[in-house]
Structure 1
Amino acid sequence: MPEQRSDLRNRLTSIDARVIRWLERYGHRLHRVSLGALFVWLGLLKPLGHKTATSLLAHTVYWGSPETMVQILGWWEIAIGLSMLYRPTVRLALALLLLRIPGTLLAFVLLPDVTFVSFPFVPTPEGQYLIKDVVLFFAAMAIGGSLRHEHA
């Protein structure tokens, strides 16, 4: 019986090691590609006329009409996504994200009644969307931290 447990433990350890090697080899690449695809997908919704929570951001940025800002933010997200998809331009994607994140955070400050049902624990759907943007920013930071280690 102890021999069977040891054999099972060895098999599980071997499987675990193979899974970890696979994740080390492909995890950051898949993370980067999925994040890039997500930004392209969600970014395309705006120029195609689909209403998203980004319109909330457009109302917190005072450099133009909300309609114009939604278009700019949509194309900005597409640029982030395309830059994330092509590994040599990931640093550009991170810079574009870094410029975008203050607008996201500003929405929480300027429009708390729109971003929260009950501050700070119950976000509205718009607030959830913006919180997702903050999480995506940190995910992109993790990708940036792996650039020198990711296999081309």
Structure 2
Amino acid sequence: MSASQPTQTETEGDPDATDRFDAARERFDRIDREITRQMNRLGIPVLRVALGIVFIWFGGLKVVGGSPAAELVAATVYVVPAEVFVPILGVWEVLIGLCLLYRPLIRVGILLLFLQMPGTFLPVVLLPEVVFVTFPHELTVEGQYIIKNLVIIGAALVVGGTVREDAGEAGPEDATEPVRTDVNDAVRANGDETVREADDETVREDAEEIVREDAEEIVREDAKE
């Protein structure tokens, strides 16, 4: 080993290297916390709009006769003429999308969505030869189209869980959650028990900043309405 190269013990004991590492970790934590906060702020609105667009788009195709799923729908609900049922289903889906895009009608949209969803899985029972290449794991394209509705159901549950918040009925636990999360992050990063009492000035400033930004966001939303 060259004499100019520091030993492992010397490197581990270098206070400057430790300080640089701690500073880099703190910067990463701040950036990560901000990114997470923005994702938390934007995630549900983006999810709601995305759901609305998907339903309006897919439903609109059924209304104008351009849906690739029309044949599958017609084969599943064969007791009703396809030229009648498919456009009606399309209108239903467009209504779901419009309700999801208009916040006061989210409850209606979620209700219409969950009334429709069981029907989307009927081909699994009535037309398994169309859904599966090999039952039960190998899906056809049509089968994948159907199974992806599980994601839509999950997304609808998430959006539906926010309707009381959209009505301004969030409880005190919901209102304080961002502050609590920020304090907990600081506790884990710092490892100092006193931070649990939020005595550290940096933690208080971070918490106050979150409260201010959330309050400003509420004011902006109220102004839009």
Q: 2:131 is matched with which residue?
A: 115
* Distance apart, 1:58 and its partner CA: 3.3
Q: 1:81 is matched with which residue?
A: 97
Q: 2:47 is matched with which residue?
A: 31
One-letter amino acid of the counterpart of residue 105, structure 1: F
TM-score by length of 1: 0.91
Is the CA contact (8 Å cut-off) linking 1:32 and 1:84 kept in structure 2? yes
SS of equivalent to 1:42: helix
SS of equivalent to 2:133: strand
CA distance in structure 2 between the aligned counterparts of 1:62 and 1:72, rounded to whole angstroms: 14
Q: 1:10 is matched with which residue?
A: 26
Is the CA contact (8 Å cut-off) linking 1:40 and 1:79 kept in structure 2? yes
Residues 33-66 of structure 1 show CA distances to partners (whole Å, capped at 9, x for unaligned) of 1110111111111122213224323332255212
Is the CA contact (8 Å cut-off) linking 2:58 and 2:67 kept in structure 1? no
More moved, 134-143 vs 104-113: 134-143
CA distance in structure 1 between the aligned counterparts of 2:111 and 2:79, rounded to whole angstroms: 20
Residues 114-145 of structure 1 show CA distances to partners (whole Å, capped at 9, x for unaligned) of 01111121111111111122321221111101
Q: 1:102 is matched with which residue?
A: 118
How many residues align? The count is 152
Q: Which runs of 4+ in 1 moved over 4 A?
A: none
RMSD: 1.7
- Structure 2: which 5+ residue stretches go unaligned? 1-16, 167-217
Residues 83-114 of structure 1 show CA distances to partners (whole Å, capped at 9, x for unaligned) of 11111111111111111112112111000000
SS of equivalent to 2:136: coil
CA distance in structure 2 between the aligned counterparts of 1:149 and 1:17, rounded to whole angstroms: 23
Q: 1:49 is matched with which residue?
A: 65
- Structure 1: which 5+ residue stretches go unaligned? none
Q: Given the alignment of the two structures, is residue 66 of structure 1 paired with residue 82 of structure 2, yes or no? A: yes
* Distance apart, 1:28 and its partner CA: 0.5
Distance 1:89 1:54, change over 3 A: farther
Higher relative contact order (CA 8 A, sep 6+): 1
Distance 1:72 1:120, change over 3 A: same
More moved, 32-41 vs 67-76: 67-76
SS of equivalent to 2:116: helix
TM-score by length of 2: 0.63
